[in-house]
């Protein structure tokens, strides 16, 4: 899989992909991550990529030409990993977009090529959306730019690519994916067995795998009812 991020601030996100699981995935050639500086496609020698909004208003708007050129350049480049140009999606981060979730992460992880445009400033020229498949949001709040959202999307989907994590079971038993159900993850414990009177549930030390599995499902349901009851209503 190849992931291309078009951004005004490459340094802001570059370091994130040079550590931990994502770094190993890149080294194993399970994923290629490309960071594209939008200013490389500026309309002039001064690096201009934005302008004032027609009709007046506050803030600056990202122009369509640099974004369009960046998208086309990214699409035309050869990849270090084998990908299909047909299994490609272009998304842009925006507070107007649909909220990103685990279901969307799974969907994106099956793509050959994902292009993420990190929105910035007041907005982008609305005509950009004619060249984008989806608008994606992290939630109902405003951030300075879309770089954090882009990083979150990449982190959540890369770990779903086969071979990235050592055990696929670790993915199947995480929050939002307990026994293929939308549940929060059950409570986890490690040593010591007792700390200031707080003890690890005996069933987890029983060695009875059926009882442990039943306990975990029960606790996952309890956690979900308590903290995210909306997930139980979401079909």
85 contact partners, CB below 8 Å, separation of at least 6: 75, 112, 113
The answer on whether 119 is annotated among ligand-binding residues is: yes
DSSP 124: E
* Residues 70 and 38 sit within 8 Å (Cβ to Cβ): yes
The answer on whether 138 is annotated among ligand-binding residues is: yes
Tokens in use for 133? 């498949």
Tokens in use for 181? 């159900």
The answer on whether 131 is annotated among ligand-binding residues is: no
Cα–Cα distance, 235 to 233 (Å, whole number): 6
The answer on whether 143 is annotated among ligand-binding residues is: yes
The answer on whether 142 is annotated among ligand-binding residues is: yes
The answer on whether 1 is annotated among ligand-binding residues is: no
The answer on whether 125 is annotated among ligand-binding residues is: no
What is the SS3 assignment for 90? strand
Tokens in use for 154? 């990449």
* Residues 117 and 74 sit within 8 Å (Cβ to Cβ): no
Binding residue positions for S-adenosyl-L-methionine: 119, 138-143
- Known binding residues are 119, 138-143
């Amino acid at each position: 899989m190849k992931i291309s991020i078009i951004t005004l601030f490459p340094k802001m996100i570059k370091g994130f992909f040079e550590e931990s699981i994502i770094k190993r995935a890149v080294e194993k050639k399970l994923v290629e991550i490309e960071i594209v500086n939008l200013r490389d496609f500026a309309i002039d020698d001064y690096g201009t990529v934005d302008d004032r909004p027609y009709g007046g208003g506050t803030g600056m708007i990202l122009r369509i030409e640099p974004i369009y050129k960046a998208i086309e350049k990214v699409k035309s480049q050869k990849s270090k990993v084998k990908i299909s140009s047909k299994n490609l999606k272009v998304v842009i981060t925006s507070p107007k977009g649909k909220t990103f979730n685990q279901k969307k992460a799974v969907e994106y992880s099956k793509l050959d090529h994902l292009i993420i445009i990190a929105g910035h400033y007041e907005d982008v020229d609305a005509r950009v959306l004619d060249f984008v498949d989806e608008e994606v949001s992290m939630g109902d709040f405003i951030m300075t730019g879309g770089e954090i959202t882009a990083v979150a999307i990449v982190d959540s989907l890369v770990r779903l690519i086969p071979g990235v994590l050592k055990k696929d079971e670790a993915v199947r038993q995480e929050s939002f994916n307990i026994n293929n159900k939308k549940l929060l993850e059950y409570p986890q414990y490690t040593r010591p067995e007792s700390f200031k009177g707080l003890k690890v549930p005996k069933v987890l030390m029983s060695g009875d795998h059926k009882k442990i599995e039943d306990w975990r499902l029960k606790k996952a349901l309890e956690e979900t009812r308590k903290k995210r009851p909306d997930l139980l209503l979401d079909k």
